[in-house]
Amino acid sequence: MTMFTQKILMLCVLSLLSLQNVLGVHVTIGNNLAKNLDLTVHCKSADDDIGIHLLHHRDIFGWHFGSSWIGQTRFYCSFKWNNELKWFDIYVQSRDLHVCDSHCNWYIIQSGPCRMVDAIEKNAQCFPWNSWNK
Protein backbone atom coordinates (compact mmCIF):
# COMPACT_ATOMS: atom_id res chain seq x y z
CA MET A 1 0.00 0.00 0.00
CA THR A 2 1.42 3.37 -0.97
CA MET A 3 1.91 6.17 1.54
CA PHE A 4 -0.80 8.18 -0.23
CA THR A 5 -3.28 5.30 0.06
CA GLN A 6 -2.42 4.87 3.75
CA LYS A 7 -3.06 8.57 4.40
CA ILE A 8 -6.38 8.48 2.55
CA LEU A 9 -7.42 5.38 4.49
CA MET A 10 -6.43 7.01 7.80
CA LEU A 11 -8.38 10.15 6.86
CA CYS A 12 -11.47 8.05 6.12
CA VAL A 13 -11.21 6.22 9.45
CA LEU A 14 -10.78 9.47 11.39
CA SER A 15 -13.71 11.03 9.54
CA LEU A 16 -15.96 8.11 10.44
CA LEU A 17 -14.87 8.25 14.08
CA SER A 18 -15.50 11.97 14.33
CA LEU A 19 -18.88 11.59 12.59
CA GLN A 20 -19.94 9.03 15.21
CA ASN A 21 -18.86 11.42 17.95
CA VAL A 22 -20.72 14.38 16.39
CA LEU A 23 -23.91 12.46 15.66
CA GLY A 24 -23.64 10.68 18.98
CA VAL A 25 -26.10 8.39 20.69
CA HIS A 26 -29.61 9.02 21.99
CA VAL A 27 -30.76 6.90 24.94
CA THR A 28 -34.41 6.70 26.00
CA ILE A 29 -35.82 5.02 29.09
CA GLY A 30 -39.49 4.19 29.55
CA ASN A 31 -41.42 3.20 32.67
CA ASN A 32 -43.26 -0.08 32.06
CA LEU A 33 -43.52 -1.10 35.72
CA ALA A 34 -46.66 -3.06 36.57
CA LYS A 35 -49.47 -1.63 38.71
CA ASN A 36 -48.98 1.91 37.32
CA LEU A 37 -46.00 2.54 39.62
CA ASP A 38 -43.94 5.72 39.38
CA LEU A 39 -40.23 5.28 38.66
CA THR A 40 -37.44 7.60 39.80
CA VAL A 41 -34.40 7.44 37.52
CA HIS A 42 -30.96 8.96 38.09
CA CYS A 43 -28.34 8.46 35.35
CA LYS A 44 -24.65 9.39 35.33
CA SER A 45 -21.41 8.79 33.51
CA ALA A 46 -17.87 9.54 34.62
CA ASP A 47 -18.29 13.02 33.10
CA ASP A 48 -22.02 13.81 33.14
CA ASP A 49 -24.91 13.73 35.60
CA ILE A 50 -28.20 13.55 33.69
CA GLY A 51 -30.17 14.36 36.83
CA ILE A 52 -33.10 12.81 38.65
CA HIS A 53 -36.28 12.18 36.67
CA LEU A 54 -39.69 11.03 37.90
CA LEU A 55 -41.44 8.88 35.30
CA HIS A 56 -45.10 8.08 35.70
CA HIS A 57 -46.35 4.82 34.19
CA ARG A 58 -45.55 4.75 30.43
CA ASP A 59 -43.59 8.04 30.57
CA ILE A 60 -40.22 8.22 28.83
CA PHE A 61 -37.20 10.48 28.98
CA GLY A 62 -33.97 10.55 27.06
CA TRP A 63 -30.67 12.29 26.51
CA HIS A 64 -28.06 12.65 23.79
CA PHE A 65 -24.29 12.35 24.08
CA GLY A 66 -21.19 11.90 21.96
CA SER A 67 -19.51 8.53 22.33
CA SER A 68 -15.83 8.09 23.05
CA TRP A 69 -13.38 7.41 20.26
CA ILE A 70 -11.70 4.78 22.38
CA GLY A 71 -14.90 2.90 23.16
CA GLN A 72 -15.25 3.59 26.87
CA THR A 73 -18.50 5.57 27.14
CA ARG A 74 -20.65 4.20 29.97
CA PHE A 75 -23.81 5.52 31.63
CA TYR A 76 -25.27 3.88 34.69
CA CYS A 77 -28.65 4.56 36.27
CA SER A 78 -30.37 3.94 39.56
CA PHE A 79 -34.05 3.02 39.46
CA LYS A 80 -36.33 3.45 42.44
CA TRP A 81 -39.98 2.53 42.95
CA ASN A 82 -41.84 1.78 46.17
CA ASN A 83 -39.17 0.28 48.47
CA GLU A 84 -37.05 -1.10 45.60
CA LEU A 85 -33.72 0.40 44.56
CA LYS A 86 -31.92 -1.13 41.56
CA TRP A 87 -29.14 -0.07 39.22
CA PHE A 88 -27.93 -0.95 35.73
CA ASP A 89 -25.29 0.13 33.20
CA ILE A 90 -27.82 1.51 30.73
CA TYR A 91 -25.23 2.31 28.05
CA VAL A 92 -21.92 0.51 27.64
CA GLN A 93 -20.31 1.46 24.36
CA SER A 94 -18.64 -1.91 23.80
CA ARG A 95 -21.96 -3.73 24.42
CA ASP A 96 -24.45 -1.34 22.82
CA LEU A 97 -22.81 0.57 19.97
CA HIS A 98 -23.34 -2.03 17.26
CA VAL A 99 -26.70 -3.21 18.61
CA CYS A 100 -28.53 0.09 18.93
CA ASP A 101 -26.31 2.23 16.71
CA SER A 102 -27.35 5.84 17.42
CA HIS A 103 -30.61 5.11 19.33
CA CYS A 104 -30.76 2.90 22.44
CA ASN A 105 -34.33 2.50 23.63
CA TRP A 106 -34.98 0.84 26.98
CA TYR A 107 -38.02 0.11 29.08
CA ILE A 108 -37.96 -0.80 32.75
CA ILE A 109 -39.93 -3.64 34.32
CA GLN A 110 -39.61 -5.06 37.83
CA SER A 111 -37.31 -7.91 36.76
CA GLY A 112 -34.86 -5.62 34.94
CA PRO A 113 -34.23 -3.29 32.00
CA CYS A 114 -35.16 -4.36 28.47
CA ARG A 115 -33.47 -3.00 25.35
CA MET A 116 -35.73 -2.67 22.36
CA VAL A 117 -34.37 -4.56 19.38
CA ASP A 118 -37.04 -3.11 17.10
CA ALA A 119 -40.41 -1.39 17.48
CA ILE A 120 -42.05 -4.52 18.89
CA GLU A 121 -41.77 -4.90 22.69
CA LYS A 122 -41.86 -8.69 22.53
CA ASN A 123 -38.57 -8.64 20.60
CA ALA A 124 -36.77 -6.82 23.43
CA GLN A 125 -33.62 -8.16 25.04
CA CYS A 126 -34.02 -8.06 28.83
CA PHE A 127 -31.15 -8.01 31.31
CA PRO A 128 -30.89 -8.74 35.04
CA TRP A 129 -30.26 -5.86 37.42
CA ASN A 130 -26.62 -5.20 38.36
CA SER A 131 -25.49 -6.53 41.71
CA TRP A 132 -24.71 -4.04 44.49
CA ASN A 133 -21.63 -6.19 45.28
CA LYS A 134 -19.72 -5.22 42.12
Pick 43 or 123 by higher pLDDT. Answer: 43
This prediction has a pTM of: 0.79
In a domain, 60, yes or no: yes
Does 4 reside within a domain?
no
Which of 30, 33, 23 is closest to 60 using CA atoms?
A: 30
How confident is the model at residue 19, as a pLDDT?
Answer: 42
CATH number at residue 44: 2.60.40.10
- The domain total for the chain is 1
Q: Determine, yes or no, domain membership for 7.
A: no
Task: Determine the average pLDDT of the residues in 41-51.
Answer: 96
Mean pLDDT of the chain: 84
pLDDT band at 25 (very low <50, low <70, confident <90, very high): very high
Q: Which helix (H) or strand (E) holds 35?
A: none
The 3-state DSSP class for residue 54 equals: strand
Residue 9 within any structural domain of the chain: no
Residue 8 belongs to some domain of the structure: no
95 lies in a domain?
A: yes
Question: Which one is predicted more confidently, 125 or 72?
Answer: 125
Residue 80 inside a domain? The answer is: yes
- Is 45 inside any structural domain? yes
What was the pLDDT predicted at 117?
Answer: 77
Looking at mean pLDDT, say which of 15-19, 73-77, 114-118 comes out highest: 73-77
Residues spanned by the domain of 97: 25-126
List strands edge to edge, sheet with 49-55: 49-55, 39-44, 74-81, 84-92
